Amino acid sequence: MNRRTLLAATSLLLSPFAALAQTRDPAKLRVALLPDENAATLIQNAQPLKAYLEKELKKDIELIVTTDYSSMIEAMRFGRIEIAYFGPFSYVLAKSKAHEIEPFAVGIERGSPTYNSVVVAQVGGPVASVADIRGKDFGFGDQASTSSHLIPRALLLKNGLDAGKDYRPVHLGAHDAVARAVQSGQVPAGALSKAIFEVLLERKTIDGDKVRVIATSAPIPNYPMVMQGNLAPELKDAIRKAFLELKDAAVLKSFRVQGFAATDDSAYDVLRETAKILDLDLSKLRG
């Protein structure tokens, strides 16, 4: 390639027309659900979502559940999914690696765009209070989980319990795995989303006589819906509208929310600050 051709190509790449050319309007949208429970259950429960989005967006919809938070972050990073329902901290991690992704809606529960993490313990076990966790194993979920790792880890630190020094952290994956491990005595205590814990009790997946809440976190910014920044503007508007105007109870049930409100990246700065308190380097965390 000669110098003149190289300059012309560079000029084209830097022009606003190049940015337009890179926008995408695919016939099929891949929508990733947060892998915080069994994949088959998540896919089954989200069938009303698939039907709703196909109707509203006039697109084929493929529902995806990745093996864990890390693979979901990488799928978003490399453009293998267009829309994703992230946990708050897994979104922060994804944003640190894929700057162009955009949060556009946040779940509303009990009229609020926040939720809580709970620390649970086995009834009759060696942990009756947070102080009793000292010197014992403690069950966390995925490393990139907000309510099953980041927030409860900070809660324990505020109570004088430093991971690896004052207790042994055990990462168990999904939230329901933490609850089951506590119930069985695999770990005497652990942490997960309050909303998920309540669903597990409601479904009788967990026996409320065997597992109890011993601490509840301060409010956490709720799970965001996120999309690729290079989607066509008209498509992005349609996706945003589909979620913000969503009223179907059957669809909302799969998200465990009452509805969605608009959000942006700044809503999740509190989690970046929490990561700093815990001395977590986002660039080095798995994901």
Q: Phi/psi of residue 85, each to 5°? A: -100, 100
Predicted confidence (pLDDT) at residue 21 exceeds the cutoff of 50: no
- Return the pLDDT at 247: 95
- In this prediction, residues 60-88 reach a mean pLDDT of 94
Asked if residues 180 and 197 have their Cβ atoms less than 8 Å apart, the reply is no
Burial class (CB in 10 A: 0-12, 13-18, 19+), 68: buried
At residue 250, does pLDDT exceed 80?
Answer: yes
Tally Cβ neighbours within 10 Å of residue 186.
16
Instruction: Name the least confident of 32-41, 63-72, 204-213.
Output: 32-41
Tell me what pLDDT residue 2 has: 52
Q: Give the pLDDT confidence of 234-245 residue by residue, as tens digits.
A: 999 999 999 999
pLDDT of residue 143: 87
- Both tokens of 143, joined, read 């490393």
How much is the pLDDT for 20? 39
Residue (of 52, 121, 54, 99) closest to 260 by Cα position: 52
Q: Nearest-CA neighbor of 147 among 6, 274, 1, 19? A: 274
Q: Percent of the chain, pLDDT > 90?
A: 75
Within 8 A by CB and 6+ apart from 28, the residues are 59, 60, 61, 62
The structure tokens listed for 28 are 């099929």
Query: Average pLDDT, stretch 18-33?
Result: 78
Q: In order of start, what are the domains of the chain with their CATH numbers?
A: 24-110+222-284 (3.40.190.10), 117-218 (3.40.190.10)
pLDDT tens digits for 160-201?
999 999 999 999 999 999 999 999 999 999 999 998 999 999
Q: What gap in Å lies between CA 239 and CA 92, rounded to an integer?
A: 21
The reported pTM is 0.73
pLDDT for the residue 8: 45
Asked if residue 103 lies in contact with residue 264, where contact means CB atoms within 8 angstroms, the answer is: yes
The residue behind tokens 């809503």 is 267
Enter the tokens of residue 129. Answer: 């209070």
Structure tokens at 33: 């659900």
Q: What is the pLDDT of residue 72?
A: 93
